[in-house]
Amino acid sequence: MGGSKRQKNKDFAVPAFGALLDASPDALLVLNPDGTIRLANAAASRLFGYPRDQLVGASHRWLLSEGFRNETSQLLEHLTAQPDEPLPPREVYGLHCDGTEFAAEMAGSLIDDGGSQLLLVSLRGTGHRKDADLREALSLLTATLESTADGILVISSTGKVAGLNDQFLKMWGIPPEYMEAGSEEPAMGVVMSQVQDPAAFMARITEVTDNPAAESHDVVDLVDGRTFERYSRPQKVGHRIAGRVWSFRDVTPRREAQEQAHQAMRDLAAQAEQLRALAFQDPLTGLANRAVFNEALAVALREPRLKSVDVLLIDLDDFKEVNDILGHQAGDDMLVEVARRLRGCTPTADVVARLGGDEFVVLLTACPDVEATAACIIRCLNVPVWIEGTMLRPSLSLGLASIGKDAVVPSELLREADIAMYAAKAAGKNRFLRFHPDMMTALVQRTDMEAALQLAVARGEISVDLQPIVSPRMGRVVKFEALARWNRDGEGIPPTVFIPMAERSGLINEIGTEVMAQSLARVAPWLRADPSRSLSVNVSGVQLLAPDFDERVLRLAEVSGVAAYQLVLEVTESVFFDADCHVIRQLGSLRQAGARVALDDFGTGYSSLGRLQDLPVDIVKIDKTFVSMVRTGNERLPILSSMINMAHSLGLTVTAEGIETREQANYLIGLECDSLQGYLFSRPEPGHRFEQALLNARQALEALAFES
Ligand code: C2E
Ligand code: CA
Ligand code: CA
């Protein structure tokens, strides 16, 4: 039909026009103002696939794809408005008579038909060019598809697999041959076996299949723990929906990272909660802490309706010994037990807090009888408790301070309770005392004394008393113990007062050296006369912490011309339980040099016979409390005999202290105690009365020998 020169439109002005049109390779249509086709050339008939007589008279709009059917009227509008400004060709889609779409370029011009304007439209199929573009686009697409981390599957409108990438097969673990088989079923089986909720998975597919234009996005959980995001959108060719694209993205690492982040947030929140609790709580005992107590006390003091506010400050007696001798675990156990009992006997307390260490405080408001409560606390806590196999009786000193109507600063009330507590300790421990202004004076005196002690050595106020120690078997004095004395402005301060004070301030180092130097100087001639004689000096744990203690002792002995083996160092058991291995090393090197170590006050505190064999000591000094048990000399005291036997079996020598009566002396002689010390033989005498002390002891020994 391409070669036909038939002219259908008889009324057209230029008869040769038809032939002219047919010469063009492009499809040409002359349109009437109402859009019907007046002329169509052979190329138009070819392009659209209709015979020319079917085209003429029909509306041209049916030759264009939906969406392009207004292109001609827009073209007409433009040409009418700006006839001198021709437009570049537009891209349109035409419709072939078989229903297929094709791409084309469209251009146009106006023809004046004697008054009415006709539109000449030319259309050039660009399918050939599109093919090349498509191929290029397709290769680009394939490259993109294969490089993407997403698994992609394209399903055609008829439900067949139209395309997929390797990643899709890899993600789902589908063998590639399944896809080549022509049926989707095996591949679908692989997919369905992996999803956690196959019903929901299928429901989404059905939903979008029923609604081809829909887009969807959901999350698919797999049985192996992975998580995929599933996207689906229609696949469009131009405006036509040709199928559906499914893409899957493995978001497992992202989900895991999110979960980890959430977990971290939860952990942080829990930690913050814990920290918050810790800020108000003593972690060991679960009691309130100092901050809570301070706040509660401040609030109570601001409250005008409260008739009374009582602060009970509690400090355990000799807690350091429990810690040192039985260990920190035992110490902790004891604190927990004390806290439990404390809470038990103060159910109406506003706050029961641990201030730190072995210090506790109870706040009571509107307590009818606070003295009764304090007494009850002392009683309840003093009940024995077993800790690490040892029976302990927690003993405590309690200071009580109260206010009636007058407002007091919280810190002042606590300070008053503290002063009362110290007074209770000084008064013999295991008791409570109510604050009294006189206690302030005592406190002032104590600080005064501490200041004076600082200057005592320099002022020559420290001196030494010497007390003989006798050997009943040899019938003579074998040893002297040096005992420190402080003469403060004519007043003798007892060592039980100033020695602990000196230990706290570290002054004991200076005082200890002074005592040793003075006593060595005094006793040296006596010592040199008989190598079996010796001098005993007391050494506190603080002194053993000084790294050069051993060297200083040996140098002092050397300067005085006294052999190291004539020195005895008296220590109490607690020095061995301070974690410091210094102490053991110091005593070791002194024993190496020949000096001996005596375990002072044996049997008191928390020491036990069983521990004796582990300690690096040569002598045991039985404390005077055991000696004082002997009254008539006829009693049976297995504790004394077993102490002495045990020590002897370990190769130690035994000294008994505090012998005041002949009965005591004879009793211990009967138990084969090696040495005796006490007022019976001689009181401790000042250095210049050294000969007198010797004389006293000799006379007492003679009297004993005469008796027996
Ligand atoms: P200690 O080492 O157990 O000394 C023995 C204490 O018992 C001395 O008390 C002594 O005077 C006393 N005493 C001796 N015989 C008898 C007696 O028959 N009956 C009674 N009731 N008591 C007797 P003192 O001199 O008051 O010393 C008390 C404590 O002070 C000493 O106990 C010792 O622990 C300490 N101390 C004394 N001087 C020094 C020192 O230079 N350095 C150190 N670190 N501590 C010292
Ligand atoms: Ca001693
Ligand atoms: Ca002693």
Q: What is the pLDDT of residue 113?
A: 81
Distance of CA 469 from the midpoint of ligand 2 (Å): 11
Q: Quick check: 358 and 285 in contact, CB under 8 A? A: no
Report which protein residue has its CA nearest ligand 1's atom 3.
601
Cα–Cα distances in Å, from 609 out to 498, 596, 623? Answer: 30, 20, 13
The Å distance, Cα 608 to ligand 1 centre, comes to 22
Q: If you take atom 4 of ligand 1, which residue's CA is the nearest one?
A: 483
Phi-psi region of 159 (alpha: psi -120 to 50; beta: other; left: phi over 0): left
Q: Which amino acid is at 565?
A: Y
Asked which of 126-135, 280-289, 696-705 is least confident by mean pLDDT, the reply is 126-135
Type and span of the H or E element at 397: strand 396-403
CA of 465 to the centre of ligand 3 (A): 15
pLDDT at 6: 43
pLDDT tens, 558-582?
A: 999 999 999 999 999 888 875 467 7
Least-confidence region, from 272-276, 371-375, 394-398, 421-425: 272-276
What's the whole-number mean pLDDT along residues 265-294? 85
Measured CA to CA, the distance from residue 592 to residue 40 in angstroms comes to: 130
CA 483 / ligand 1 centre spacing (Å) = 6
Segment among 198-212, 452-466, 534-548, 606-620 with least mean pLDDT:
606-620
Ligand 1 center to 681 CA (angstroms): 15
Locate the ligand 1 atom nearest the alpha carbon of residue 537 and give its number: 41
* Nearest protein CA to atom 21 of ligand 1, as residue: 658
Least confident residue range of 29-43, 54-68, 606-620: 606-620
Ligand with smallest separation from the Cα of 518 = 1
Ligand 1 atom at minimum distance from 539 CA: 44
Residues 6+ apart with CB under 8 A from 219: 227, 228, 229, 230, 251
Please state, rounded to an integer, the average pLDDT across all residues of the chain.
88
Taking CA 676 as the corner, what is the angle to CA 672 and CA 679, rounded to the nearest 5 degrees? 145
User: How far is Cα of residue 548 from the mean position of the Cα atoms in its chain?
Assistant: 40
Q: Which residue among 657, 681, 685 is best mutated to probe the pocket of ligand 1, counting the most ligand atoms within 8 A of its Cβ?
A: 657
Give the pLDDT confidence score for residue 176 in this predicted structure. 85
Give the strand pairing for 385-387 and 390-392: antiparallel
DSSP readout, 444-508?
HHHHHHHHHHHHHTTTT-EEEEEEEEEETTTTEEEEEEEEEEEEETTEEEPHHHHHHHHHHHTTH
Q: Whose CA is nearest to atom 33 of ligand 1?
A: 538
The better pLDDT of the pair 382, 159 is held by 382
User: What are the backbone dihedrals phi and psi of residue 56, each rounded to the nearest 5 degrees, phi first?
Assistant: -65, 130
- How far does the centroid of ligand 1 lie from the alpha carbon of residue 419, in Å? 28
Most confident of 13-22, 148-157, 255-264: 255-264
Q: How far is the CA of 186 from the centre of ligand 3 (A)?
A: 96
CA of 598 from ligand 3 middle (Å) equals 10
Q: CA 520, CA 555: separation in Å to the nearest integer? A: 12
Smallest CA separation from ligand 1 atom 17, residue? 658
User: Rg of the chain's alpha carbons, rounded to an integer?
Assistant: 55
Question: What is the per-residue pLDDT for 270?
Answer: 83
**% of the chain with per-residue pLDDT over 90:** 53
pLDDT for 163 equals 81
456 CA from centroid of ligand 3 (Å)? 24
588 contacts 571 by C-beta, under 8 angstroms: no
The token duo for 369 is 């009888």
Name the band, by pLDDT with cuts 50, 70 and 90, for residue 131.
Answer: low
Answer whether 657's CB lies under 8 Å from 642's CB.
no
Alpha-carbon separation of residue 240 from 217, 227, 234, 455, 465 (angstroms): 22, 33, 10, 108, 119
Helix/strand/coil percent split, the chain, to 5: 45, 25, 30
- Alpha-carbon distance of 252 to 229, in angstroms, equals 9
Atom of ligand 1 nearest to the CA of 657: 15
Asked if 599 and 617 touch (Cβ cutoff 8 Å), the reply is yes
Nearest CA to ligand 1 atom 8: 483
Please give the pLDDT value at position 558.
96
C-alpha span between 247 and 233 (Å, rounded) = 9
638 Cβ neighbours under 8 A, 6+ residues apart: none
pLDDT for residue 4 is more than 50: no
Parallel, antiparallel, or unpaired: how do β-strands 396-403 and 390-392 relate?
unpaired
Per-residue model confidence (pLDDT) at position 139: 65
Q: By alpha-carbon position, which residue is closest to atom 2 of ligand 1?
A: 538
For a mutational test of ligand 1's pocket, the pick from 538, 620, 660, 696, i.e. the residue with the most ligand atoms closer than 8 A to its C-beta, is: 538
**pLDDT digit string, tens, across residues 100-130:** 888 889 988 888 887 788 899 999 888 766 5
Ligand 1 pocket: which of 483, 485, 537 to mutate (most atoms within 8 A of CB): 483
pLDDT at 488 over 80: yes
Q: Given a cut of 60, is residue 3 above it in pLDDT?
A: no
Confidence band, pLDDT 50/70/90 cuts, at residue 211:
confident
pLDDT at 403: 85
Residue with CA nearest ligand 1 atom 20: 658
Q: How far is CA 652 from the centre of its chain?
A: 50
Rounded Cα distance, 186 and 174, in Å: 9
What is the 316 CA–ligand 3 centroid distance (Å)?
Answer: 24
d(CA 672, CA 661): 17
Nearest ligand atom owner, CA of 493: 1
Taking a 5 Å cut-off on Cβ, the residues next to ion ligand 2 are 538, 570, 600
Spell out which residues line ligand 1, taking CB within 6 angstroms: 467, 483-484, 494-496, 499, 512, 515, 538-540, 570, 600-601, 624, 657-660, 677-679, 684
CA 304 to each of CA 82, 351, 372, 418, 494: distance values in angstroms, whole numbers, following the listed order: 97, 19, 25, 25, 48
Query: Which tokens in the block code for residue 34?
Result: 């109402």
- Classify residue 165 as exposed, middle or buried by CB count within 10 Å of its CB (0-12, 13-18, 19+): buried
220-269 confidence digits (pLDDT tens):
999 999 999 999 888 877 677 888 888 999 989 888 898 898 988 888 88
Q: Give the C-alpha distances (Å, rounded to integers) separating 94 from 44, 65, 68, 127.
A: 11, 5, 8, 11
Extract the tokens encoding 498: 């100033």
Q: Residue 544 CA: which ligand is closest?
A: 1
Residue-wise pLDDT for 312-321, tens only, equals: 999 999 898 8
Report how far ligand 3's centroid is from the alpha carbon of 657 (Å).
7
pLDDT (average), residues 165-190 = 85
Which contiguous run of DSSP H or E holds residue 625? helix 624-627
Contacts of 341 (CB under 8 A, 6+ apart): 380, 381, 383, 394
Cα separations in angstroms, 527 against 530, 532, 700: 6, 8, 21
Overall residue count recorded for the chain in this entry: 708
Ligand 1 atom index nearest CA of 684? 11
Q: Which ligand is nearest to the CA of 677?
A: 1
Sheet holding 116-125, edge to edge: 37-40, 27-31, 116-125, 101-113, 90-95
Question: What is the model's pLDDT at position 521?
Answer: 96
CA of 191 to the centre of ligand 3 (A): 89
pLDDT at 346 over 80: yes
Contacts of 428 (CB under 8 A, 6+ apart): none
User: Which ligand is closest to the CA of 569, given by its number?
Assistant: 2
Taking the CA of residue 508 as reference, the ligand 1 atom at the shortest distance is: 44
Instruction: Give the list of residues 6+ apart from residue 261 with CB closer than 8 angstroms, or none.
Output: none
Q: Rounded to whole angstroms, how far apart are CA atoms 287 and 299?
A: 19
Rounded CA-CA distance 415/417 in Å is 5
